[in-house]
Chain A
Amino acid sequence: MGVLGYTILTLAVLGIVAAAVLYFVASKFRVEEDPRIDDVEKMLPGANCGGCGFAGCRGMADALVKRDDISALYCPVGGAECMKGISEYLGKVAAERQPMVAVVRCNGTCENRPKTNTFDGAKSCAVIAALYAGETGCSFGCLGCGDCVAACEFGALSMNPETGLPEVDIDKCTACGKCVSACPKGIIELRKKWPKGRMVYVSCMNKDKGAVARKSCTAACIGCMKCQKVCEFGAIEVANNLAFIDSNKCKLCRKCVEQCPTGAIVEKNFPPRKVVTAPKEEAPKAAPKAEVSAEPKQEA
C-alpha cells in the first residue's frame, strides 16, 4: 500500500460515509409533493411564457392541482385541447375559452403615414413613447421599433420592412398576451380567432378628431359612424372618434369594410371578393386567367 492506495481508500470511505448521510437526510426531510403536479406540468406546453399569469408552467401546474376551482386558470398556448386533457386527468371542471389571436391595430404604413421627423436615440418603442409622439404625425400609432417582436417567444411576430409595421403569424400566435403588454401604445389586441384566420377589425387607434387624424394618416379611423350604422349585429361602437368592433358580436359580414371611407376597417384571409356585376361562375376562372397573362411577360 503506497500513497496511492491510502488516497483511494480514504476517498472511498469518505464517499460511502457522505452517501449514507445524504441518504438519511433525504429520507428524513423528504418534502411530500403531489406527483400529479409533475404529470400536469408534462401535459402543459412547457413554453414558460407566462401567458397564464404564473411565472412558468410549473407554477400553473401547481395551481391546477392544488386549487379546487380551476375555472379561472387557462393556458392560452395549449388551448382548449390541453385544458380538456388536464381537467379529465384531475377530475375538475376547466374553463372553456375560445381561441384568441393577436391583432396589430395600426395601418400606418410608410405610405399612409409619412414621417415628419427622425428619432436617433435608443431603438426601442418604450423609450420613444416615454419621450414623445413618434416619428410621424400620429401620436397613437405603431412606433415601429419592434418591442412586440422582441417580446414574442413563439416567433409569431415579425417586422415588415416595407410597411414598417409588425405582422402576426396566425398559426404561430398562441395569444399569450406578451406583445399586448410590451406595446407602449397599446395597439395590439387579442381577438377571437375565426376558422382559417379570418378577421375583420378596425386597424387604427387614433382618437383625434377626424380631420386631424386624417391629416397625419390617410388610413386613420375618423369616427364617421358609418360602420356603426351599417352593422346589423350591434358589434361596432364609436367612442372618442374611434370605432371598435366587438369580436364576440361580429359575424364577419364585412359590410362595415365596404362602408369605411378611409380603409381603416380591414378584412384578412378572406377569399377574393366577387365582383358584383360578374356572374358567380366566372369568378374562379378569372384567377387562372390572370396567371396565364403573367407568364408571357416573364418570358419576354
Chain B
Amino acid sequence: MLKTFPIGGIHPPGNKLSADKAIERFALPETVVIPLSQHIGAPAVACVAKGDKVLAGQLIAKADGFVSSNIHSSVSGTVKAVDTYVNAQGLRRPAITITVEGDEWVEGVDLSDELIEECNLEPKEIIAKVAEAGIVGMGGATFPAHVKLSVPPGCKAECLIINGVECEPFLTADHRLMLEKGAEMLIGARIIAKALGVNKTYVGVENNKPDAIAHLKKLAAKYNGEVEIVPLKVQYPQGGEKQLIAAVTGRQVPSKGLPIAVGAVVQNAGTAFAVYEAVQKNKPLVERVITVTGKALSEPKNLLVRIGTPMQSLLEYCGIDSVEGTLKIVGGGPMMGRSMCNPEESMMKGSSGLLVLTEPETKRGEEAECIRCGKCVEACPMGLEPYLMGRVSKIKNFEMAEQHYIYDCIECGCCTYSCPAYLPLLDWLKLGKAEVMKIMRARTSK
C-alpha cells in the first residue's frame, strides 16, 4: 500500500506530455529583463546602474532584509535600464534590463559537469552561501531558502523531506531533473540536511515516475539508509508542504503552524539541485528548468533557461505559431498556476512551467447555484468547507470566514475543480483569505 495524505485530494488527468523529453539548454536571448521581486518578501534593491558592465553570476540586486533574496545577473552584458516592466499580470514592477554580450562568468564559478561529493562547510557557512546565491523555493512558492534552513529557536528539525512529487498535471521539470541530475540533487539534499543538523532525508516521489524512483533508489543506496526514497500514491495536491509531510511521516502540521512545528523541513527537488550548484560549484541561481507544454504546442519541451528570458521566445521555440484561435497561457501548472495576460513576462526563479491551453480546454460551464453536494468538502485536503467560505467571503462576512479556518487554505484549487455548479470557489477563498490575514495581522500588531 503506497503512502499518501489522509484527507481530500483529487485525481486530475496527468497529461505529462514532456515526460520523456530530455532537458535542453535554451539559447541566450538578446536582452533579459530581470524582475527585482522574484520571491516572497521584500523586493531586492538594485546595486547596478544604467551603463554598467555585468558578468553572468554577478550580484545585481541585494536582499532587503532577512525575508528577501539576492538577485544575480543571468547573462554578461551592459545594463540597459534599471526601471520597471509589465509583468504577466499586466502590472508594473521594478526590473533590471540587460543587453546580452557574449557569455562571460564571474570568477570562481565552476561550470564543469564534474560531481563534487564532499562538503566540509559548517551549517552556518552553508546557510550563508545559500542566502548569498539567492536561492528560493523552486516549486513555485519562492520562499527564500535560507529562511527555511535557519531553524527558529525552540524548534528542532528532525527530518528533511525533498519534494519530488510534482503533482501538478503537465509539469515534468522536476521529473527530468531527478532523472538527469539525480546524483547532484541528492548531494544538495545532503548539504541541506547538514545545514539543518538532521540525519534522515526523505525524497517523496509520486508513483507515476517509476524511472525516477528506480534511478534515485540506486543512487541513494550508498548513503546507508540516511536517504530514503518514498514512492507515493498519485494524488493532487501531494506536493503541498503539509500534505507531503502527512504522506511521508504521518504527522499533521497544526492549524496556523509551520512544518517545523512537527520537526520537518520540506525543500523542492529543484531547490536541492540549486543548493548543490551554489555550495559545491559557487554558481548562484541564474537559470532553472521549466516545462513548456500544453496540447496546443507542437513540441512540448523541458528547457534549461536563464532567468530574465522572455517567455514569448520559449513559446515560439516550442511551436506556438502553428496554433490558431484564442489561447490561455498559464505560468505554472494548470491547478495552481496563474494565467498570464502578457506573454512578454520574464522567466523567474519560481517559473516551473509554462502551459498553453486551447479555448475548449479552459472553458468552464455557466456558473449556477450551490447545490450543497459537498464535493468540495470531500476534495479539500485541509478539511475545510469551501462552499461555506466561498459564500461568506462573497458577502464579506470575514469574521465567519476566520471562524471556519480560512487561513489554513492552501489555495490548491481542488474545490473549484470538483464543483459541479462551476462556482469559482477558489477566487472567493483567495479574496477572503487575504482579507482575513490582513485583519489578523492588524490585530497582532496592535
Chain A residues within CB distance 8 Å of chain B = 116-118, 120-122, 124, 126-127, 130-134, 137, 139, 208
Contacts and interface: CB of A to CB of B under 8 A. Distances in A.
B431 A137 contact: no
14 contacts: A116-B341, A117-B341, A118-B326, A122-B424, A122-B427, A122-B428, A122-B431, A124-B394, A127-B424, A130-B430, A131-B430, A132-B88, A133-B90, A139-B92
A131 B89 contact: yes
Most central of B92, B338, B362, B434 by chain A CB within 10 Å: B92
Given A116-B341, A131-B338, A137 B430 contact: no
B364 interface: yes
Chain A interface helix/strand/loop/mixed = loop
A208 B92 contact: yes
Contact count band on B: 10 to 19
Contact of B431 (A116, A117, A124): A124
A116 B89 CA distance: 12
Interface in B64-106: 88-92
A120 B90 contact: no
Contacts, number: 46
A205 to B, nearest CB: 14
Contact of A121 (B88, B92, B326, B424): B424
Nearest to A117: B341
B428 A127 contact: yes
Contact of B341 (A120, A126, A133, A208): A133
A117 to B, nearest CB: 4
Contacts of A127: 424, 427-428, 430-431
A116 B434 CA distance: 27
Contact of A134 (B88, B90, B424, B431): B90
B12 to A, nearest CB: 18
Contacts of A117: 341
Given A120-B364, A139-B91, A139-B92, A132 B427 contact: no
A120 B341 CA distance: 13
A131 to B, nearest CB: 7
Interface in B328-355: 338, 341
B424 A132 contact: no
Contacts of A120: 362-364
Contact of B91 (A116, A121, A122, A132): A132
A121 B341 contact: no
B338 A137 contact: no
A193 B364 CA distance: 45
Contacts of A118: 326
